[in-house]
Structure 1
Amino acid sequence: MTLPLRLSRLLAPVLMAMLVLGLAGPAMAVQPDEVLDDPALEARARDISSGLRCLVCRNESIDESNADLARDLRLLVRERLVTGDSDEQVVEFIVDRYGEYVLLNPTATGSNLVLWGAGPVLFLVALGIGAVYVRRRSRAAPQGPDEGLDAEEQARLHEILRD
């Protein structure tokens, strides 16, 4: 009776690890009825879909999202590919319709340059402020505990410290 118990104690962690690893894989929400018959077109559709943001789920691609809008966008991508649009035309059509926010990796042009540059610029500003603060603090005259006290306060402080 100890062998099955010992075996189950050994297998439990292995089975849990397999379960966790199995669930950790990429979750694709593409339904079988969405898949195109032409493997080349389907590969193009998957490539385009992986770069488009689900507008409901925010930081998931439409390929990973189960939202209805993501499904509609996946179908729209496939529909445009079947009609003969190039990958760029499909992305341009969707960006024209939903705005540049639909791109998971927005372009670094126009007003987006401000957003792309704001992080590094603010980091450099923070470093400058920190350097000025540290420099001023190191130049400040060190104050002892008795400085800034009048004679009566110093006498009271010495009295307290002696007790």
Structure 2
Amino acid sequence: MKARTMTLALTICAAMHVAASAATIEEREANLSASLRCMVCQNQTLAESNAPLAADMRQQIREQLAQGRSEQQVRDFFEQRYGAFVRYDPPFMPSTWLLWLGPFVLLAAGFAAMWRILSRRNRVEPAPLTAAEQARAAALLGSDAP
């Protein structure tokens, strides 16, 4: 009786470990699928894409994770196979500096242009009124002084 109970307990523990391991692999596969680009759709992640290639890539991710590879090793595998473009968030390297820094440069240029325009506008002094304009203004204001 004790042997059966012990065997049953060990079987349940093993099944729970396998289920937990499968859930972990599924979570890791979902994270990786969300961070890699579908090479067919190109504006979708692997997780969003229904393309056959995306399904194959997701299957490859699951297989590599089941073999014990880390997420970074799987990411490196796909990057080596398809290039840095496969990453949905491109790495910060010389070929992508414009991509990462471009919006900030454009924002700074916009602020500089706005500051320049506003500072010019504040520096311009109004032209003095002519005698006719002074007389008209005096008449509108009801004063006798020119």
Question: Is 1:125 aligned with 2:112?
Answer: no
Question: For the residues of structure 2 that align with 1:136 and 1:40, how far apart are their CA atoms?
Answer: 62
Query: TM-score with structure 1 length normalisation?
Result: 0.57
Cα deviation, residue 68, structure 1: 1.7
Cα deviation, residue 141, structure 1: 4.5
CA-to-partner distance for each residue in 1:95-146, whole Å, 9 max, x for gaps?
11111121122222333233211111121111111211222233234469x9
Corresponding residue for residue 51 of structure 1: 35
Question: Is 1:66 aligned with 2:54?
Answer: no
Question: For the residues of structure 2 that align with 1:112 and 1:101, how far apart are their CA atoms?
Answer: 10
Question: Is 1:88 aligned with 2:88?
Answer: no
Q: Point out the structure with max Rg over C-alpha.
A: 2
Cα deviation, residue 75, structure 1: 1.5
Moved more, 60-69 or 75-84: 75-84
Distance 1:57 1:142, change over 3 A: farther
CA-to-partner distance for each residue in 1:62-103, whole Å, 9 max, x for gaps?
112111221121112122223332111100000111111211
Which of residues 63, 85, 88 is equivalent to 1:104?
A: 88
Is there any run of 5+ residues in structure 1 with no aligned partner, and where? 1-36, 147-163
Question: For the residues of structure 2 that align with 1:103 and 1:125, how far apart are their CA atoms?
Answer: 29
Aligned amino acid, residue 84 of structure 1: G
Aligned amino acid, residue 51 of structure 1: S
Moved more, 88-97 or 127-136: 127-136
Question: For the residues of structure 2 that align with 1:141 and 1:55, how far apart are their CA atoms?
Answer: 60
Cα deviation, residue 43, structure 1: 2.0
Query: TM-score with structure 2 length normalisation?
Result: 0.63
Identity %: 36
